[in-house]
Structure 1
Amino acid sequence: MKIAIVGFGNMGQTYANSFMSSGFVGASDILVLNRREVDEKFRFGIDAINFYTEPNAAIFSSDILILAVKPQDFKQLASVIKPFLNDEHVVLSVMAGISIETMQNELGITKIVRSMPNIPTQIGEGMTVFCASNAVDRKELFIVQNLINTTGKSIYIDREEMLNAATAVSGSGPAYVFYFMQAMIESAVKLGFSASEAEFLVSQTFSGSVQLQNRSKLSNEAWIQRVASKGGTTEAALSIFNQLKLQEIVINGVDSANNRAIELGA
């Protein structure tokens, strides 16, 4: 199976590296089309002859085509690569905001898989939500999901519009986590810890808590109750969070992100 990656920025590089590290695809079976020449240190062992700066028939002899360019560059790209495409091509898009219908119209093909990955894909711990056009059969969808899963985990959805919600929750989600972590770090420094001590305390607390939750069947609410003893320190903090309606603030923030995703995709 040959795979062509169009656009070799962070996401394109992540896919290439993940495919090969997993053993799912060999270096000789990955072709790259990028606007500029790619420095050798970013090729991940892919031979230089597999990199192109101009589209040609060799690139599009691939079974799966991954579009990893910026959304604003898509229309120009589509006009250039359309002559090389046929209805057997399966396209996996990681472009935010470009609908399946738009890609079908601009590319002149029907088999489109649209995905929303997040930044932890760079270390193989990503979360990707994806959907597909009706023309993509089960075997093709299975292959694409296996490719996606080399970067972490995934969820398939039937309704394309839910990708906006995925953008708001898992796509933007890492920033929410980092935001809360930074607030805790600043609190720890204020209480007397050094910056490095504070970062270590908070990082390990988040890591340990997530692993604890993943390895159990208890709900988040149940874990909160286990940590928060009556009249204790945790309850004092949670009381302030509840007074300030922190949960409602988070829900409203995610809702705002979802609305913005809808606007950008319109």
Structure 2
Amino acid sequence: MKIAILGAGNMGLSFSKSFLKYELIKPESLHLITRNDSKLSKISEEFPRSMISIFDDVKELDADLIIIAVKPQDFQNVAENFRFKLKENQMVLSIMAGIKIEKIQKLLSHPLVVRAMPNSPTLLGMGITGYTSAEGISFSQLINIERLLNSTGRSVYLENEDLLDGVTALSGSGPAYFYYIVDAMIKAGMEMGIDENLSKLFVKQTMLGAYHLINNSDKNLEELIKDVASKGGTTEAALKTFEENNFKEILKNGILNAEKRAKELNG
């Protein structure tokens, strides 16, 4: 399979590295296309120059799969400035937030579109991607796409495309929510007099341990919380403050606003 990736940003490059790492494609079968020639030298530090092209220079695209990894706000402008025509049998995989399949099909005048929403841990092969597809795409074509997506972590097929905006808000944006909470915890540690590096160590290891407990325990989240929060204890004092300040509601509303923004990106 020959793959072209349009948009050589963090996500486009992490996909490229995963495909090559797991030998899903040969290096000569990968084509990276950047819209910004100032990024050439940076991309060339990790990939051979022969793999990389400037968008404006591409007159024909010899690829079985074209992955569109540009910012959703830039997509219309990019689509209107294609200098190449998509061939009938070429597949398009969009990893842009918010842009629906129907809009991609219309702007590209091309029916074979799969839409996916990965998240940043794909950089380590530990991401999760929700994906869905247009009608007319065969089971074998979808299996090929899934193989590629699974090289970046795990993937889940969704029958209902509308759920992808929720996936975008939940897991696509999700890592930033955890970073935000971890940052607040580290700063609380520092305020209590704990050295910054030591505070980071305590918080990161606590997060890692909590993740493994969630994954390996038969208990639900409420029970796990009760295990830590003894009556009249320190944890209960913290949780009481969270409840009094509607922390759970604030977090939920933030995620719902992320979903709303994903829907707005489709225009």
TM-score, structure 2 as length reference: 0.91
CA distance in 2, matches of 1:256, 1:208: 30
Give the structure 2 partner of residue 125 of structure 1.
126
Between the two structures, name the one with larger relative contact order (CA 8 Å, sep ≥ 6). 2
Q: Structure 1 counterpart of 2:218, which letter?
A: K
Once the two structures are superposed, the pairs formed by residues 25-104 of structure 1 within 5 Å of their partners are 25-37=25-37, 39=40, 42-43=43-44, 46-53=47-54, 54-57=57-60, 60-81=61-82, 83-104=84-105
Deviations 1:188-245 (A, max 9, x none): 1121201111111111111111122122332211211222223322122212222222
Q: Structure 1 counterpart of 2:263, which letter?
A: I
Q: Structure 2 counterpart of 1:26, which letter?
A: K
The 10-residue stretch of structure 1 (35-44 or 200-209) with the greater mean CA deviation from structure 2: 35-44
CA distance in 2, matches of 1:260, 1:73: 16
CA distance in 2, matches of 1:44, 1:157: 37
Give the superposed CA RMSD.
1.9
Give the structure 2 partner of residue 134 of structure 1.
135
**SS at 2:11 equivalent:** helix
Q: Return the offset for 1:14.
A: 0.8
**SS at 2:115 equivalent:** strand
Stretches of structure 2 that go unaligned for 5 or more consecutive residues are none
CA contact (8 A) 1:27 1:46 kept: no
Once the two structures are superposed, the pairs formed by residues 1-266 of structure 1 within 5 Å of their partners are 1-37=1-37, 39=40, 42-43=43-44, 46-53=47-54, 54-57=57-60, 60-81=61-82, 83-266=84-267
Deviations 1:143-182 (A, max 9, x none): 1111111111222111212121112111221111111111
CA contact (8 A) 1:28 1:46 kept: no
Total equivalences in the alignment:
264
Q: Return the offset for 1:83.
A: 4.3
Counterparts in 2 of 1:198 and 1:110: CA distance versus 1, 3 Å: same
CA distance in 2, matches of 1:188, 1:76: 46
CA distance in 2, matches of 1:186, 1:36: 37
CA distance in 1, matches of 2:145, 2:96: 16
**SS at 2:82 equivalent:** helix
Stretches of structure 1 that go unaligned for 5 or more consecutive residues are none
Counterparts in 2 of 1:87 and 1:165: CA distance versus 1, 3 Å: same
Q: Return the offset for 1:82.
A: 6.9
CA contact (8 A) 2:73 2:265 kept: no
CA contact (8 A) 2:3 2:63 kept: yes
Counterparts in 2 of 1:76 and 1:200: CA distance versus 1, 3 Å: same
The 10-residue stretch of structure 1 (241-250 or 12-21) with the greater mean CA deviation from structure 2: 241-250
Q: Structure 2 counterpart of 1:218, which letter?
A: K
Q: Return the offset for 1:49.
A: 2.6
Q: Return the offset for 1:39.
A: 4.1
CA distance in 2, matches of 1:29, 1:83: 18
CA distance in 1, matches of 2:163, 2:182: 28
CA distance in 2, matches of 1:44, 1:113: 30
The 10-residue stretch of structure 1 (194-203 or 77-86) with the greater mean CA deviation from structure 2: 77-86
CA contact (8 A) 1:90 1:111 kept: yes
